[in-house]
Amino acid sequence: MAGDVTQALARFAATLTYDQIPESAREHCKNLLLDAVACALAGKQGEETPQVAAFASALAQSHESSVIGGERLSLAGSTMLNGFLITAVTMCDVHRATLTHITPEVVPPALAIAERDGLSGRDLLVALAAGCEVMTRIGIGMDWPAARAKGWHGPGVLGPFGAAAAVGRLLGFDEEAMARAYGLAGSQSAGTFAAWGTPTVKFHQCRGALSGLMAALLAQQKFVATREFLTARDGGLFNTYSNGGRPDIATADLGKRWELEQIALRLWPSASTIQGFVTAMFELVEKHGLGFDQVKKVRVFMNQTGVDMHGMFPRYKGKFEALLSTHYCAAVILHDRALTLAQFEPARYNDPTLARFAAEQVETKVDASFTGVQSVVEADLAGGKTISVRCDHSKGSPENPLTRAEIVEKFRAYGKSVLGGGRVEDAIAAITKLEDLKSARGLMDALRSGEEQRTRKSA
């Protein structure tokens, strides 16, 4: 029944055990954690990272929790900064059914509590599964297209629930305490697409992580809150933020079908909605061997949402707009045959040749039959020939997943300069065998910056 949804999800998160999680879901949780940490290490290069770091360090003056690739801050500070780092350079996961990044909200508070309390890797794995599953199921139960039509942005709306579920599981909540944590999480749900095109959309992620942490810690103190937040007639999430939602979907086959396995990863930096187009572009240059000088015109066909959100930056300004720009990504993939953070440095995106090609020779067009990340790229060649490539499932999607080896390589690529090769390998080994890790503190020790480690040893 609709009124039982919050309680059912609270019972699920509070009672979930390692043995109840199928191997495929466990392994995907490890992939999500590996990828989230890789993204956080890359996030050290984010333009706004210093601003958020300064804000996070000002939240409190204790130093019990590690920042990935950084030092120690308070529980709140590390949760906030790690959440931002994961999403800072636009290459983290996305649950496509809700257009929502999941790991920036779930992973940071779980790492902070697991480290503070010296909990095991198995405890952490169960908490991550609980948080990711609860968050994605609340999202699909909300009837996300209806919520999106009202302007809501998933990370800030759904994120507090996932974070609260993960932290509550680590703190050993029973069903009643978990339900209250959801009530406190929902009371902080916020964030709309009015922020689109600005770094504030990334703030939604880290704020969602912090909101969930606060919800769980307050629930631990037995703070009174509603235990039926999702479907409450007056002000419930599904009724107020959507059209009443689909509560039955939120709990259908709970514990049997794992929605978290539908969380997609990204091999390349750039917005999640254009990952299908990026996949098609790489097929264009790799399979057909096209060179930059051979192409007169590139046409990119996407759905209306894709064009509205990513066809608006033919003349992009700065790194963030370049990361969102279909026009720039087409130009630089064609020219460099690569798309890493190196392609989003000022010297690259300000290159006059690329900027001119993006503005004048790339066109975005709507195909009303397309959904999700579906895309077609057409390239008109100098000799008059046109080559077309279609992508239905982007690289990293559940239908076209990244391999563990590809995720590990992403980790190494962005981690070595921050951590050093030895500690990168230690962290990869710890996450790969997470269920055997005796204490999360060992993982977090490996993930702090080499500079921080050297400072502590010399102190």
- The length of the chain in residues reads 459
The whole model's pTM is what?
0.94
Whole-number Cα distances in Å, 238 to 42, 70, 160, 246: 35, 38, 15, 8
* DSSP 8-state class, residue 227: S
Which pLDDT belongs to residue 244? 96
Which two structure tokens, joined as six digits, stand for 55? Answer: 């804000």
Q: DSSP string covering 69-98, please? A: TS-EE-HHHHHHHHHHHHHTTS-S-EETTT
Which pLDDT belongs to residue 61? 83
AA identity, residue 246: R
State whether residue 106 is helix, strand or coil.
Answer: helix
Distance CA(133)–CA(16), nearest Å, equals 11
Asked whether the beta carbons of 228 and 250 are under 8 A apart, the reply is no
Residues 6 or more apart whose CB falls under 8 angstroms from that of 398 comprise 261, 262, 264
**Residue among 305, 318, 317, 296 at smallest CA distance from 363:** 296
β-strand partners of 95 = 100, 263
Asked whether the beta carbons of 357 and 331 are under 8 A apart, the reply is yes
In the chain, DSSP finds a helix count (H) and a strand count (E) of 22, 8
Average pLDDT over residues 391-398: 97
State whether residue 400 is helix, strand or coil.
Answer: strand
Sign of CA dihedral 190, 162, 154, 94: positive
Whole-number Cα distances in Å, 176 to 13, 236, 331: 11, 18, 54
For β-strands 362-366 and 263-264, DSSP reports them as unpaired
Asked whether the beta carbons of 220 and 117 are under 8 A apart, the reply is no
**Does the pLDDT value for residue 226 go beyond 70?**
yes
Average pLDDT over residues 369-391: 96
* DSSP 8-state class, residue 371: -
Placement of tokens 């507090």 in the chain: 160
Mean pLDDT, the chain, integer: 95
What confidence category does residue 291 fall into, taking pLDDT thresholds of 50, 70 and 90?
Answer: confident
Q: Which residues of 238-247 are buried (b: 16+ CB within 10 A; e: fewer)?
A: bbebbeebbb
What tens digit of pLDDT does each residue of 401-429 get?
Answer: 999 999 999 999 999 999 999 999 999 99
End-to-end alpha carbon distance in the chain:
59
Which pLDDT belongs to residue 1? 42
Placement of tokens 């503005």 in the chain: 359
Distance CA(101)–CA(86), nearest Å, equals 10
Q: Which helix (H) or strand (E) holds 173?
A: none
What tens digit of pLDDT does each residue of 26-57 get?
Answer: 999 999 999 999 999 999 999 999 999 999 99
Burial label, 64 (beta-carbon count in 10 A; 0-12, 13-18, 19+): middle
AA identity, residue 284: L
Helix axes 75-87, 49-58, angle to 10 degrees: 170
* DSSP 8-state class, residue 211: H
Distance CA(357)–CA(202), nearest Å, equals 28
For β-strands 295-302 and 362-366, DSSP reports them as parallel
**Residue among 212, 214, 91 at smallest CA distance from 161:** 212
Share of the chain above pLDDT 90, in %: 95
**Residue among 376, 399, 359 at smallest CA distance from 261:** 399
Which pLDDT belongs to residue 456? 47
What tens digit of pLDDT does each residue of 118-127 get?
Answer: 999 999 999 9
What confidence category does residue 274 fall into, taking pLDDT thresholds of 50, 70 and 90?
Answer: very high
Distance CA(150)–CA(144), nearest Å, equals 10
Q: DSSP string covering 228-280, please? A: --TT-TTT-HHHHHSSS--HHHHHTTTTTS-GGGGEE--SSSS-GGGHHHHHH
Distance CA(140)–CA(393), nearest Å, equals 20
Give phi and psi for 50, each to the nearest 5.
-60, -35
Average pLDDT over residues 382-411: 96
